[in-house]
Amino acid sequence: MSVKPNPFTIAQHQLDDAAAILGLSPAMHAFLRMPMRELHVSIPVQMDDGTYQTFQGFRVQYNDARGPAKGGIRFHPDETIDTVRALSAWMTWKTAVVDIPLGGGKGGIICDPKSLSRGELERLSRGYMRRVAHFIGADKDVPAPDVNTTPEIMTWMLDEYEVITGRHLPGVITGKPVHMFGSLGRGDATARGGIYTVREAAKLIGLDLQNASVAIQGFGNVGGWAAKLSHQMGMKVVAVSDISGAFYDPAGLDIPAIAAHVDQNPRHLIEGYTAAGMKPITNAELLELPVDLLFPAALENVITADNADRIQAKIVAELANGPTTPEADQVLFKKGIYIIPDFLCNAGGVTVSYFEQVQNAYNFYWPIEEVQTRLEAKMTTAFRAVHEMAQVHNVHNRLAAYLVSVQRVADAVAARGWVK
């Protein structure tokens, strides 16, 4: 049985490669390999039956040289501190690659949110905020939704923070509902930003996206929006999946019908949906389909040395965090598959979260057209910077994205005089 790769070890190795090419000093390299600070908390929660259960949670602030830490909070039964460390590192590089004035952070709670009632989930969310409130703030560290967390959960956390501080501070949390000072365009921002990068990549390799075939692993908020936006652009989505299974139709799936079914399903899953021509496949088979475009939009480490040589997509657009291992990167690069690395491809979410912070600070809110225009500008500029860096150094795009972002963070660290 293969051992699951440690995501933080992967993140460090990716940094090591960039540090060598950039010629970072040993001191700078060592400083950037580790989080600046992290918090471990125990959260007692009274369950609906009157008993108490204690949950373990984390908040990691990887680097704030370029601005306050920024990053989501995940609720997952397999959450680990090393996953949170890796994600906070990737957030640091993500905010730098799209050149927004933020650092990187991440949070998580070890729990199975699907086994919790709404009341238990609210008490857990508020309990987490009570434990980390002193650690965060609009000018220190700004959380957001992530895996299994929602705008409603962000509202509970915001309310708890404002009760603790006695102040109205909507900018301490992003990903809030629009009626609670969230930004228009945040719901589809991660997928929309990814689509902007796909459009640029398709131009480079001469791929006509009209009727291009698409496979999407994951049909949550990000994967679901990727499917809807791809369909709206005229692409043919042939495969989708979630925890209930993977489904394939080479003639193209009816994405509006699947999305409507998921919305009505009590568990918000594809399970139970049927259509002529659609057949079940495994998630492993989905990744290896002969498609033009593959969106890994679920969890990390799904494209590995074991299956990379069987990936057939022309473009792999990583909407998930860390879906490809370093060994797989080399295989895909040699095969000529165009990778849009995670912390570039999925940076639309943090970019619009930043826009939300700006709007909260000004107490003035933008129309959707302005949000999307600004997002498109940020994503296309970042894509071009990464592509140009890849050409200059003849490296794969993930390493090029690291070269762009690590240099920006290192410059900020050095300018502050922390490390030379």
Query: How many CB atoms are closer than 10 A to CB 51?
Result: 8
- Helix, coil or strand: residue 405: helix
Backbone angles phi, psi at 149, to 5 degrees: -120, 155
DSSP assignment of 156-184? HHHHHHHHHHTS--GGGS-S--GGGTPPT
Give the length of the chain. Answer: 420
Provide the terminal-to-terminal Cα distance of the chain, rounded to the nearest Å: 44
Task: Say if CB 131 and CB 122 are below 8 A apart.
Answer: no
Question: What three-state secondary structure class fits 127?
Answer: helix
CB environment 216-237: b (16+ within 10 A), e (fewer): bbbbbbbbbbbbbbbbeeebbb
Catalytic residue among 70, 106, 236, 378: 106
Token pair for 112: 């199975």
| Beta bridge pairs of residue 267 | none
C-alpha dihedral sign at 223, 225, 228, 233: negative
Read off the tokens for 299.
Answer: 């969890």
Residue 176 is a catalytic residue: no
- Give the integer Cα–Cα distance in Å for 63 and 67: 9
Catalytic machinery residues: 106
